[in-house]
Amino acid sequence: MKRLVTLFAITMAIIVSFDGMAQMSKKEAKEWKKRMKKTSPESFKNMIDENKSMKSQVSSLRSELDNVDDQLASKDDQINQYAAQAADLRDQLAKVNSKYASSSSGGNIDENVGVIFKVQIGAYKEIDLSEDNSSSFNSEKGDLNKYTIGVFKDYWEADTFKKYVREMGVKDAWIVSYRDGQRVDIKDVLEGKS
C-alpha cells in the first residue's frame, strides 16, 4: 500500500511539473490574467492558507495510512502464525491418533459392539468442523456438534491418550463412553451398570 501511495505521489509530481513546464496558449494566459485581476489580496491569502491546510491534511492522512498498513501487516503475520500452529496441531493429532489407534486392538475396533471409549475434544453449538475431511476425529451432530478422537476398548488407554491430548493444548479434553454404538454415561460403564 505504501508503494502504491508513493507511486501515485511521484506520478502526480511528474504530471504537475510537465503541466508547469508546458506553455499556456494565448487564450489561456488572457483568461488567467483576468482571474488574477479579479482576485483580491484577501482571497489570495485565503487560497494560500487553504493550500497549506490541505497539505497538512494530506501529510496527516499519509501518516494514518502508514499506521494502518503497519497494523495490517501485523495482523497478516498473526494470521500466518495461527495457521502454522493449526497445521502443526493437526499433524501432531494425526500422529497421536494413529499411534493410539494402532495400539488398541490394531485399530480395528468395531464401534457398534460392546463398550468403547473415546476422547472428546470439544462440543460446539455454532462451529462445524465436519467440513474438515480429516479422519483424525469423529463428529456427532445434535444440539451441539461433538468431536472425539481415538477409539479404545480399555479405559486406561483412553485416559493416557486424554492426558497426552491435554498436554498438546486441548485443556478440556475428556473421556466419553459408548455401548453398542450408543453414547452412555461413563459412570454407568465404569460401575458396570447395564
Query: What average pLDDT does the structure give for the chain?
Result: 78
Which of 12-16, 37-41, 62-66, 121-125 has the largest mean confidence? Answer: 62-66
Backbone angles phi, psi at 181, to 5 degrees: 85, -5
Asked if residue 148 has pLDDT above 50, the reply is yes
Q: What are the tens digits of pLDDT across the range 52-88?
A: 889 889 899 999 999 999 999 999 998 888 888 777 7
Choosing among 3.20.20, 3.40.50, 3.30.70, 3.40.720, the CATH entry for 109-190 is 3.30.70
| Cα 188 to Cα 180: distance, rounded to the nearest angstrom | 14
Asked if residue 32 has pLDDT above 60, the reply is yes
- pTM, full prediction: 0.46
**Domains of the chain: which residue ranges?**
2-81, 109-190
User: Where do we find the cell 493437526?
Assistant: 90
Q: Which residues pair with 192 in a beta bridge?
A: none
Tell me what pLDDT residue 38 has.
Answer: 77
Q: What are the tens digits of pLDDT across the range 83-114?
A: 887 777 777 777 766 665 544 444 567 777 88
| Nearest by Cα to 137 from 107, 164, 97, 100 | 97
